[in-house]
Amino acid sequence: MGSTLLDDVNKLLEMKVGDIPRLEHIKRTLEQKNASYASDRAYLQKLVNQYLTNTSQKKIIKEETSESEDVNSSNEETTNSQFCGICGNKLQSENNFCPKCGSITSNNEKYQERPNKISHISQTKFQRGPEWKNLSTTTVLAVILGIFGIEGVGHFYVGKIAKGIGFLLGAWILFAIGYGIITSAQAGAFGYSHSSLVGYHTSIILIAIGCFIGVIVMFVWQIFDSRKLCRYYNDYLEKNGKKPW
């Protein structure tokens, strides 16, 4: 009890209210842990009720009022916020354009709240048309048909017909040369001696292997090249709105 009263006395002295000498006397009495007069306790309680209790209540009311104002300000800001009708980005009231997508806000719709329509607009704007080339389709055509010796189909799909024909004919020619060399070597081997036949076969086999390796190289090359062209095609179409070739 004495400690609480002493705290109250110190606060009153800091506020410089009431009878200062009397408060100092009460403070000394409490610090010495002596019994204080009933009149002093009544006087102290009166000051506490008058100054300290009212001050605490005012402080609480002020904090509640400040918090309420912050909430109202936040609600007002949310209510007055506008969003771009193209991408849904929050707009600043002083700007005439969207800082995210760059569209002029006077030329598109503004919304006080984010409606579902915004996401629909964004999806519609970047929707891929029938001219768009699918990268997976390009890869499947180049790989699957290429395994069966039909190279260049991926290029046909992305519109590079001449290049696709070049890969197709190149692979066929190399394969035909390699196969023809081996066939002719077997047919002409009967006119050679054993020592000459060994060297002849070695040379023929190396040339044939070189041709078959060339076929494999062209097979792999046409896969990566068709994928590269597909990406370029789509990027160009998206940026310029027309086909690159």
Domain ranges of the chain: 2-79, 82-125, 135-240
pLDDT digits (tens, 9 = 90+) for 24-80: 888 888 888 887 778 888 888 888 888 887 655 545 445 555 555 555 555 555 445
pLDDT digits (tens, 9 = 90+) for 129-145: 678 899 999 999 999 99
Helix (H, G, I), strand (E, B) or coil at 91: strand
Highest mean pLDDT among 12-26, 106-120, 150-164: 150-164
Residue 122 has pLDDT above 50, yes or no: no
Q: Which residues contact 12 (CB under 8 A, 6 or more apart)?
A: 18, 23, 44, 47, 48, 51, 52
* Cα 201 from Cα 213, distance rounded (Å): 18
The structure's pTM equals: 0.45
122 or 93: which leads in pLDDT: 93
Residue with tokens 């789509």: 234
Residue 197 has pLDDT above 70, yes or no: no
Which of 165, 156, 141, 170 has its CA nearest to residue 233?
A: 156
* Cα 154 from Cα 220, distance rounded (Å): 12
Residue 14 has pLDDT above 80, yes or no: yes
